[in-house]
Chain A
Amino acid sequence: MAKLTMVQALNQAMDQVLAKDKRALILGEDVGVDGGVFRVTDGLIKKYPNQVFDTPLSESAIVGASIGLAINGLKPIAEIQFMGFYLPAFNQIVAHLARYRNRTRGTVNLPVVIRIPCHGGIRALEHHSEATEALLAQIPGLTVVMPSTPYDAKGLLIASVNHGDPVMFLEPIKVYRSIKEEVPEEMYEVPIGKANIIQEGTDMTVITWGSYIKDVMEAVKDAPYSIELIDLRTISPLDNETILASAQKTGRVLIIQEAPKTCSISSELSSRIHEKCYLSLKAPVKRLTGYDITMPLPAGEELYLVNKPRIHRAMKELMEF
């Protein structure tokens, strides 16, 4: 089996999707000739000139037109260049993309995938290191997905294209080229809505997702506890079953997230766990999150992102509660 980076795995997934389904198409800024600023769509315009489109610099029209394309039977995979730049399209996402199925009482579903590179740790300019998945997760009707490995990226992207409803497909830039792993050549799906138990354990559950997975795995390896590590993979809808069962089993939960703390995914996880596993908990859920501040520019980025010592401190505090 070939070892691929996430960029290569995503490229392969789209290559296969475009080949298999002529209704599928890719649109976005610089996705064609340039192959995308991260080269995720590299080479696809040559192979599928009628299915890959370089658009003008217009996020609102990229999403709005994708809605129209989907209403009329096509399956757009749109790329937004960075997470800071889906905001011009937020109106289309919230007012229409998320609502069409409900508005038409199930007669119109929109098989639209919006791919968005996200998260920090890459020393980029302002607006290029955003972690606003909670903004999207609060919108009823949206599915929000974030793979953390090349294998999951390919399988989740194919599942997203087949999902039938709009998927916000968030790609942690930091992982794009930093991990290589075996990825099957054939098409396969990683189910949407299913979290991944990376390793089982009994002392505590650690939940994280996206760009933090690798750092957290390393911190888990060095920690003197038996840890159950969960990668959310799908941020909305959350996999209650897996999360709550693990919380019940270990009785201690640490959530590690890049985004600011207030009104975030960790807030939601924490309240669900408290609401549903109260009597099993040995300590209140602990959250190690971003601060409630704007992601600093690169010179200050390390001050914001979690690191191993902070993770270990949080684990210790949780164990010693």
Chain B
Amino acid sequence: MVIENYDPLKGQMLQVLDAEGNLAQGFDGVLKNDDVLKLYQVMTLSRMTDKKALAMQRQGRLITYIPQSGQEAAAAASVYALTFEDWIVPAFREMAGWLLRGAKLKDVFLYLRGNEQGSKNMPKLRMTPLCVPIGSQIPHGVGISWAQKLKGENSITIVYFGDGATSEGEFHEAMNFGGVFKTPTIFFCMNNQWAISLPRSLQTSSKTLAQKAVAYGFPGVLVDGNDIFAVYLATKEAAERARQGKGPTMIEAYTYRQGPHTTADDPRKYRSTEEEEKWLCKDPVSRVRKFLEKRDLWDDKKQAALEAECDKIIEEAVAEAEKTSYIPEDIFKYHYAEMPQELQEQFEYFKSTLGGQHG
């Protein structure tokens, strides 16, 4: 029972796998070797996507990019603890989790190329589209899980948000709703220590973010967000509680945004390279690799093969996204089930402007 045993008010943090890849005693079997391998694969894919995307953005092939590096463990292991029946409500920095759920990298690239088609397929995967207004997705997570409860389903919902989002009113209103209606919700906070240039210490005077749950009448737990075992354990347990009708749990994943906020951001304005280097030593991806190597489950050859495979997946996704053309008429078609007359007239004018020759 990790949730009960780790008190966020005392600053206690669940960590099972240390930075050197050593597993604490008594936690063998939490994730089987195959599970760890699967997580390592998707985390590597996410990490390599970051590299590719940053290069593409510099070449003008993506409008912007939202780096994910450093948060792969929290994203992947939390989704891994759920079933496909459970809903995922993302913010925008949980790519490894989306990929585990089955989201297509092609769609991610489409979105980042500024094409709405990238948000089309997510709801079919019980996943809402990426959400830009900070914190505004949190009540949606409560509503989806409330519906699960009202409909008598056994499924639950996980909603992701950052440390910065905990300062928005919508976070507090949603947490309160969750507590009052005892919804099967996991409030998953990616505390990556920064909200653009604002450090976690200036975001709130609370010692931890997880402790905010206490005020809303349900448990919060602080976990090492760079530790797939800790994240998995806490999420699994929170999901069980939710399924048993015990209501929400908040999980604070203590992690780090290794890259800039977006490609438009320059971290040199507000944080030191020393801090960044310190966190690189706690890197979640290499931590899993160390674990695997210690158990003779991994070597350079396997790594090379995995990287080659990821490369191929990424290149295919990029190629598909780049050859997907934007459908001009689509900008009109989806605001109403039936186009109102005024809009219809505007649409006719719009069509007369396509091709450019008629102005």
- The answer on a CB contact under 8 Å between A310 and B168 is no
Q: Counting CB contacts under 8 A, is A292 at the interface?
A: yes
Segment touching B, from A118-126, A193-201, A207-215? A118-126
**Known interface pairs A33-B270, A291-B332, A310-B353; A58-B169 also in contact (CB < 8 Å):** yes
B34-63 residues with Cβ-Cβ distance < 8 A to A are 63
A127 to B132, CA, bound (A): 7
- The answer on a CB contact under 8 Å between A293 and B326 is no
List the 6 closest A-B pairs by CB distance, nearest first: A298-B114, A309-B359, A313-B359, A34-B197, A56-B167, A57-B164
- The answer on a CB contact under 8 Å between A84 and B343 is no
Query: For residue A303, which residue of chain B has the nearest CB?
Result: B328
**Known interface pairs A34-B269, A54-B202, A56-B203; A300-B195 also in contact (CB < 8 Å):** no
For the residues of A in contact with B, the DSSP-based class is loop
- The answer on a CB contact under 8 Å between A300 and B328 is yes
- The answer on a CB contact under 8 Å between B197 and A57 is no
Q: Counting CB contacts under 8 A, is B134 at the interface?
A: yes
20 contacts between A and B (CB under 8 A): A29-B198, A30-B197, A32-B197, A33-B269, A57-B134, A57-B167, A57-B203, A60-B168, A61-B167, A87-B133, A125-B132, A261-B346, A291-B347, A292-B346, A299-B114, A299-B326, A300-B326, A303-B328, A310-B359, A312-B359
**Known interface pairs A35-B269, A299-B326, A310-B359; A57-B168 also in contact (CB < 8 Å):** yes
- The answer on a CB contact under 8 Å between B198 and A124 is no
**What is the distance, in angstroms, from A262's C-beta to the closest C-beta of chain B?**
7
Provide the residues of chain B in CB contact with A304, threshold 8 Å: 331
Q: Counting CB contacts under 8 A, is B29 at the interface?
A: no
Provide the residues of chain B in CB contact with A292, threshold 8 Å: 335, 342-343, 346
- The answer on a CB contact under 8 Å between A58 and B168 is yes
- The answer on a CB contact under 8 Å between B202 and A123 is no
Provide the residues of chain A in CB contact with B113, threshold 8 Å: 298-299
Provide the residues of chain A in CB contact with B346, threshold 8 Å: 261, 291-292
B149-188 residues with Cβ-Cβ distance < 8 A to A are 164-165, 167-170
- Which of A32, A58, A262 has the largest number of chain B CB atoms within 10 A? A58
**Further pairs besides A56-B202, A57-B168, A292-B335: 18, Cβ < 8 Å:** A32-B197, A56-B167, A57-B164, A57-B165, A85-B133, A87-B133, A88-B169, A127-B132, A128-B132, A291-B343, A291-B350, A292-B342, A296-B116, A297-B63, A300-B116, A301-B114, A313-B358, A313-B359
Provide the residues of chain A in CB contact with B202, threshold 8 Å: 54, 56
A170 to B170, CA, bound (A): 25
Provide the residues of chain A in CB contact with B286, threshold 8 Å: none
A59 to B204, CA, bound (A): 15
- Which of B114, B170, B343 has the largest number of chain A CB atoms within 10 A? B114
- The answer on a CB contact under 8 Å between B132 and A293 is no
A312 to B264, CA, bound (A): 35
Query: For residue A315, which residue of chain B has the nearest CB?
Result: B359
A183 to B221, CA, bound (A): 55
A1 to B51, CA, bound (A): 45
**Known interface pairs A57-B168, A124-B63, A294-B335; A34-B116 also in contact (CB < 8 Å):** no
Q: Counting CB contacts under 8 A, is A245 at the interface?
A: no
- The answer on a CB contact under 8 Å between A297 and B114 is yes
Query: For residue B167, which residue of chain A has the nearest CB?
Result: A56
User: Chain A, 31-58, contact with B by CB distance < 8 Å: what is the 0/1 string?
Assistant: 0111101000000000000000010111
